[in-house]
Structure 1
Amino acid sequence: MGLQSDSVLQSILLFPIHLIIWLYSIVSFLPWYYLTGAGQRKALSKRIKARSKSGCAEGPYRSVDQFDSLAREDFPGKDTLDKLFKHAVQRFGEADCLGTREILSEENETQPSGKVFKKVILGEYKWLSYNELDSIVNEFGSGLAALGQQPKSTIAIFCETRAEWMITAQACFRRNFPLVTFYATLGEDAIAFGLNETDVSHLVTSVELLETKLKTVLPQIPNLKHVIYVDDKKMNTEGTVQDSNAFLCSTVARAIVEPQPSDLAVVMYTSGSTGRPKGVVIVHSNLIAGMTGQCERIPGLGPNDTYIAYLPLAHVLEMTAEISCVTYGCRIGYSSPQTLSDQSTRIKKGSKGDCSVLRPTLMAAVPVRTLFFIYPVCVLLHYFILFEIMDRINKNVMSKVQEMGFVQKMLFTLGYNYKLEQIRRGYDAPLCNALLFRKVKKLLGGRVRMMLSGGAPLSPATQRFMNVCFCCPVGQGYGLTETCGAGTITEVEDISTGRVGAPLICCEIRLRDWAEGGYTSKDKPNPRGEILIGGPNVTMGYYRSEGNNQDFFVDENGQRWFCTGDVGEVYPDGCLQIVDRKKDLVKLQAGEYVSLGKVESALKNCPLIDNICAYANSDQNYVISFVVPNQKKLTELAKQRGIEGTWEEICTNPEMESEVLKAIKEVATNIKLQRFEIPVKVHLSPEPWTPETGLVTDAFKLKRKELKNHYLHHIERMYGRK
């Protein structure tokens, strides 16, 4: 009776709301349709975006907007990074360029658990104009030269994302000092390896990283002569380096050796999922080509835009994004995941996070880690933002929706579904934006007009969620460090999900059959195969690894190509979808091939799972898995089953393992995984996987070798000690 009463009440409440929505749609649709050009945008979404140059299914596929020849420069004659910056200074002189917030106060805050968190109150953004930045770049470059840094000799930067990183980069580009970059979270051994491999004599870093990571490493770097730290404070460096200088400048005139397009610009060390890190060799012309392709997919990029910078600058996505913003006159405001929003962990309650103050129009994100999830969602009431894994935004919010009161839940669901349907048709819902999602949008400052996701595929559900709640297009991009981050980007008008767009105007894409994995150009309904990217954005290989450059080749026309190892499917409109990864393929004892990445991607939809690593031995006939469970969900389930104890005790309880396996099988069945692809046994890890644990890369991709070694005992247990 209770369920019937709720159903009747819901029908009574919904009728007038549906009537209002129906009337609103009729009255507002036609004016909105014609005034906003919705029909034209929908037509652009359906257009052919790329086609095969050869007419064959394997390609190469090239953008229809640059079909005859690949674009190399957006600004003719500006063929090196220093020329781009000089051109920007001439165009935008007194305009704001780089902005940083001042720390007004800092205090320790004790949590109920006894943990102490450092909280800050930050002031307004203080800006450097293009002219001021140009002067600082000149002075810093002169200072480096005065310390003995030579043109075409490498110099390293190991630093957080901040204005001084970009100042260092522009100074190095201007004087032809090739820049060697490292993630700030890279391990000490990897840093020592990279610094020694590149023979750097000068290193730019911060006091925090110098004190926490570099002190133990520096004695292992015999060629290092000078460490320059970017903070305006003194520190004791006795016994750690030969010479240490604050962020320096020099008025001594030194001859500038300008770079050529073929000169080395950056050696970018990638964390890598196996073995030692590899330094990708990137010349000036590579970056110019890659950024030309990327910027073409961001309509209206220019001085009216403000970009919020918080991702690692040692990642090619962030570095090219910031250089592009400087080139086009955009403001760049620096932030961090700990200060991004009003509710971020380092922001004192009641004070404003960076998004609220900066109000950016553009931002980049990575679904594997770093952005945020929202909770709780109460219509027209409370919205809070925390940074977490982007692919968990949708799961977490929808979980909170289920906890709402009846009326709130009904209103939110109704508005969400209405706008979702409009977006799927290629339209929008302005009234829903104003009434339901305005507060969510304000979490990012209220002005974001485009978000670009890269680093890993973004699930269709999450992409739609971002479209609905943040009221802006969410583009997906596909590229690698080896291609300067350039490959494909979805167009703003493209309303599809799950795809990464058509080839950029700087490159083309080819599919290579991978018969062992079952992917060929003859597949129906669309051709599939390993993705090869070719063009002037393809880098020169790996530093001092001539024997390890087999993934690069030059074709008969002199064009460079990179074999990505990713498997893609090309749709009739020329857009690409990532469907698999070659290195993740395992052959079971009975001969079946299992794509571990495919299994993991599917099972991340399970509400009990925060992260998962599938594993299979080729001498076994079934798949097993390691799972980082969702603590809240699993704890609630344990209480329902009468299981008590610490979080570690809950994770090691056999009944909880069975419950997670049951949930895995349910999700796998709904997604239609093959029987042999579904994990048969599971180990629950109470500790999350972070770069600090060494089990994932800095981009939070799984390190399968390290995970295997870490869980070797559990692998033996799950495979019966075989």
Structure 2
Amino acid sequence: MKLKEDLNPMLLLLFHLMVWIYTFITFLPSYMLSRSTGTDKDFYGSEEERAKRAKARPLLGHPEGPYRAVSAIKGLMASLHPGMDTLDKMFEYAAKRFPHRDCLGTREVISEEDEQQGNGKVFKKVVLGEYCWLSYEEVHTAASQLGSGLASLGQRPKNNIAIFCETRAEWVIAAQACFMYNFPLATLYSTLGGPAIAHGLNETQVTHIITSRELLETRLKAILIEVPRLQHIIVVDNTPTSWPGYPRGISVHNMAAVQKLGARPENAARERQQPVPSDIAVIMYTSGSTGIPKGVMISHSNIIAGITGMAERIPNLCEEDTYIGYLPLAHVLELIAELICVSHGCRIGYSSPQTLADQSTKIKKGSKGDTSVLQPTLMAAVPEIMDRIYKNVMTKVEEMNCVQRTLFILAYNYKLEQLAKGYSTPLCDKLVFNKIRSLLGGQTRVLLSGGAPLSAATQRFMNVCFCCPVGQGYGLTETCGAGTISELWDYSTGRVGGPLVCCEIKLKDWVEGGYRSTDKPHPRGEILVGGPNITMGYYKNNAKNQDFFVDENGQRWFCTGDIGEFHEDGCLKIIDRKKDLVKLQAGEYVSLGKVEAMLKNCPLVDNICAYANSDETYVIGFVVPSQKQLLVLADQYGIRGSWEELCNSKAMEELVLKVITEAALAAQLERFEIPRKICLSPEPWTPETGLVTDAFKLKRKELKTHYQDDIERMYGGK
């Protein structure tokens, strides 16, 4: 994605001359710096050379596979460290190897205040101090005491226990306690609604739940009457110490009090039942893009395999690394990422999307966000967050004066060319991109993207402006988050890399959708993932377990429902999804996911959901517009009104539709794939609205219900 310049020819020529002189002067020092940091051309190679390197090969030479990583051709890797086959052993190993190193960090809250906005809304703002750290030894002791305390409160091995809590250090301490004492941990998203929470707690028959004070008072308290088996609530916050007003039969405890109970000599001496690799470690409830959440049963050996596969793709991972944790720990991507860090002695500093950066919504103006203070070297992100960063920075670039903007564009394009040749640009990074890089703390060396496809424009932008590779991955809760991750030296876009060393991938013909493994130039079909990372199935849901099967060799497989194609170098590209396919009245098949992915690149679109009825002849769409871009468009055509009035304006709908149609044609969508009518949403879709999951995937059923009146209007009242 090259950026365009808009200067007169003479000035443009002058800038190009400056770039040529810069290239000439800096070539030798840049080359030497590249060699000293291990990023020389011999290691990376040119883009063309990188594209030829084999990442995976079909084992039997068949186009459908199975495909296996080149580094794992002889057999799938099954263990992270010798003998570390369960999560309690893994953490004990880390605590003994890195006892005094920082493990889990939380920022001190100095002050909180309410700030009134111009529109009358009140936002809570915080001023935060430094990170306070617990060492590996301290975390191990805390987890051991908590596990002992839970056992003293009647929690038994192999009996489920639930955690319903925001991402924070106490979440990981509680999880490690459960792993140590063989309490299967049922995880619930903090944004789930009351009925979904009650469903998960009743299905798993839990008697103990670990939660936070805020979630207890705002979510859990209202549904306690619907969860008759619940007896003990453990609150991770230290205050208050007494909890009156709860139903008879339910005891509420502070986590510190339970740890104190577990530390008593008579309880600490109690022998614990250690898990075996096949025992369930986690029952992970998906946030559910359709229907009620399903609980995925994940064994200790599944997680160890997933950690092994993903860690192999992160070069030089060691105790010197710092990871920032802010995504939901109830999501498999964040849980596995943090367990990888713990297994290698890294430190994890906690954050939230509202305090992540200096400009985040809860950070008081003039205060530092979490990335500025923590300066992480490792970070995971869902594409929605990366897309926001990209659009915010590009908006600021557009606001620059002509000279600044052209300098940025030339530097951007220059770096793209150097990356394609296999060279790094340390001086250019320092002079031009250092300020942008500082948005994530300035030390990030690896960004992992998962949860949804990442657009090519955003991936290129992160590569260039944040001066670090983006490892785009593919995995599901059912595969323990593991599937593929692109090699960090592979800067190609739109692909998710080759299979990890813990699994292999096959393609299954989907005749109805027109995808076959015999397709040219690339074999295509439904993606099947097999290996030790494939989970044990859905908890108490045999009807859904048909997506899992065991082959003649005893290997477990999962049918993902996603459509992929394998390229010559063994890289996988996600091209469609079976559930997103709709057949229009005239017989054309429309992939809603494909339409959305293409149109998300339009600057006017912050988010979009394509929709089609099988008894209709055209596609429609719900669009969350970019506020800045929509206001500019309205100003161009002299349309006035509040934000809500603009979004409800028929004239604005038509103008946005025109821009979207042009973007769709430029992206080479077929005419029948292009939305013919749209409606604009003044409110963004967040997990709190219930219209997207915690990983920001669209909840199509909820979106259809929410926009039912608009659907009827756009389809002429049918």
Q: Normalized against structure 1, the TM-score is what?
A: 0.94
Cα-to-partner distance string for 1:123-142 (whole Å, 9 max, x where unaligned): 22111111111111111111
Q: CA deviation at 1:229?
A: 0.1
- Give the corresponding residue for 1:149: 155
Q: Matched residue of 2:18: which SS?
A: helix
The reply on whether 1:238 has 2:280 as its aligned counterpart is: no
Q: CA deviation at 1:111?
A: 2.8
- Give the corresponding residue for 2:574: 578
1:553–1:560 contact (8 Å) kept in structure 2: yes
Cα-to-partner distance string for 1:72-118 (whole Å, 9 max, x where unaligned): 10212111100101111111111111111111222222333333222
Q: Give 1:180-259 correspondences, 5 Å limit.
A: 180-234=186-240, 236-240=243-247, 242-247=250-255, 248-249=258-259, 250=262, 251=264, 252=267, 253-259=269-275
Match of 2:290 among 266, 270, 274: 274
More moved, 213-222 vs 334-343: 334-343
Q: Distance in 2 between matches of 1:358 and 1:15?
A: 38
- Give the corresponding residue for 1:18: 19
Q: CA deviation at 1:32?
A: 4.9
Match of 2:113 among 104, 107, 117: 107
Cα-to-partner distance string for 1:340-368 (whole Å, 9 max, x where unaligned): 12222222222222112211111111113
Q: Give 1:173-572 correspondences, 5 Å limit.
A: 173-234=179-240, 236-240=243-247, 242-247=250-255, 248-249=258-259, 250=262, 251=264, 252=267, 253-368=269-384, 389-572=385-568
Q: How many residues align?
A: 699
Q: CA deviation at 1:400?
A: 2.9
More moved, 684-693 vs 557-566: 684-693
1:609–1:627 contact (8 Å) kept in structure 2: yes
Cα-to-partner distance string for 1:241-273 (whole Å, 9 max, x where unaligned): 610000121222322000011111100000111
2:455–2:601 contact (8 Å) kept in structure 1: no
Q: Distance in 2 between matches of 1:486 and 1:30?
A: 36
Q: Matched residue of 2:383: which SS?
A: coil
Match of 2:676 among 680, 689, 711: 680
Higher relative contact order (CA 8 A, sep 6+): 2
1:528–1:568 contact (8 Å) kept in structure 2: yes
Q: Distance in 1 between matches of 2:155 and 2:142?
A: 17
1:426–1:495 contact (8 Å) kept in structure 2: no
- Give the corresponding residue for 2:170: 164
Q: Distance in 1 between matches of 2:234 and 2:223?
A: 15
Cα-to-partner distance string for 1:435-459 (whole Å, 9 max, x where unaligned): 0011222222221111101111111
**Structure 1: which 5+ runs fail to align?**
369-388
Match of 1:55 among 41, 58, 61: 61
More moved, 400-409 vs 70-79: 400-409
Cα-to-partner distance string for 1:535-582 (whole Å, 9 max, x where unaligned): 000001100011221110111111000000111111111111111111
More moved, 292-301 vs 128-137: 128-137
1:267–1:281 contact (8 Å) kept in structure 2: yes
Match of 2:698 among 702, 707, 711: 702
More moved, 17-26 vs 276-285: 17-26
Q: Distance in 2 between matches of 1:237 and 1:485?
A: 41
Q: Matched residue of 2:222: which SS?
A: coil
Q: CA deviation at 1:601?
A: 0.8
Q: Distance in 1 between matches of 2:216 and 2:557?
A: 38
What is the one-letter code of the residue matched to 2:426? P
- Give the corresponding residue for 1:660: 656
- Give the corresponding residue for 1:372: none
The reply on whether 1:38 has 2:32 as its aligned counterpart is: no
What is the one-letter code of the residue matched to 1:18? V
Q: CA deviation at 1:28?
A: 4.2
Match of 1:627 among 612, 623, 647: 623
2:301–2:532 contact (8 Å) kept in structure 1: yes
Q: Distance in 1 between matches of 2:538 and 2:126?
A: 41
What is the one-letter code of the residue matched to 2:83? G
More moved, 326-335 vs 393-402: 393-402
- Give the corresponding residue for 2:3: none
1:154–1:178 contact (8 Å) kept in structure 2: yes
What is the one-letter code of the residue matched to 1:246? N
Q: Distance in 2 between matches of 1:711 and 1:65?
A: 49
Match of 1:589 among 585, 590, 615: 585
Q: Distance in 1 between matches of 2:519 and 2:645?
A: 48
Q: Give 1:592-631 correspondences, 5 Å limit.
A: 592-631=588-627
Q: CA deviation at 1:425?
A: 2.4
1:215–1:240 contact (8 Å) kept in structure 2: no
Match of 1:74 among 66, 74, 80: 80
Cα-to-partner distance string for 1:508-545 (whole Å, 9 max, x where unaligned): 00001111111111112111111000000000110001
More moved, 319-328 vs 154-163: 319-328
**Structure 2: which 5+ runs fail to align?**
1-5
1:103–1:122 contact (8 Å) kept in structure 2: yes
Q: Matched residue of 1:436: which SS?
A: helix
1:46–1:494 contact (8 Å) kept in structure 2: no
Instruction: Provide closer, same or farther for how the CA distance between residues 14 and 707 of structure 1 changes in structure 2, counting only shifts above 3 A.
Output: same
Give the superposed CA RMSD.
1.7
1:202–1:226 contact (8 Å) kept in structure 2: yes
Instruction: Provide closer, same or farther for how the CA distance between residues 443 and 142 of structure 1 changes in structure 2, counting only shifts above 3 A.
Output: same
Q: CA deviation at 1:46?
A: 3.6
Q: CA deviation at 1:403?
A: 2.4
What is the one-letter code of the residue matched to 2:561? G
Q: CA deviation at 1:495?
A: 2.1
Q: Matched residue of 1:294: which SS?
A: helix
More moved, 629-638 vs 463-472: 629-638
Instruction: Provide closer, same or farther for how the CA distance between residues 45 and 75 of structure 1 changes in structure 2, counting only shifts above 3 A.
Output: farther
What is the one-letter code of the residue matched to 2:72? Q
Q: CA deviation at 1:33?
A: 5.8
Q: CA deviation at 1:29?
A: 5.8
Q: Distance in 2 between matches of 1:455 and 1:321?
A: 13
2:450–2:472 contact (8 Å) kept in structure 1: yes
What is the one-letter code of the residue matched to 1:265? A
Instruction: Provide closer, same or farther for how the CA distance between residues 422 and 622 of structure 1 changes in structure 2, counting only shifts above 3 A.
Output: same
What is the one-letter code of the residue matched to 1:216? A
What is the one-letter code of the residue matched to 1:118? K
1:500–1:576 contact (8 Å) kept in structure 2: yes
Q: Matched residue of 1:217: which SS?
A: helix
Cα-to-partner distance string for 1:384-415 (whole Å, 9 max, x where unaligned): xxxxx322433443333222111111111111
Q: Distance in 2 between matches of 1:87 and 1:139?
A: 18
Q: Matched residue of 2:406: which SS?
A: helix
Q: CA deviation at 1:9?
A: 4.4
Instruction: Provide closer, same or farther for how the CA distance between residues 11 and 608 of structure 1 changes in structure 2, counting only shifts above 3 A.
Output: closer
What is the one-letter code of the residue matched to 1:114? G
Q: Normalized against structure 2, the TM-score is what?
A: 0.95
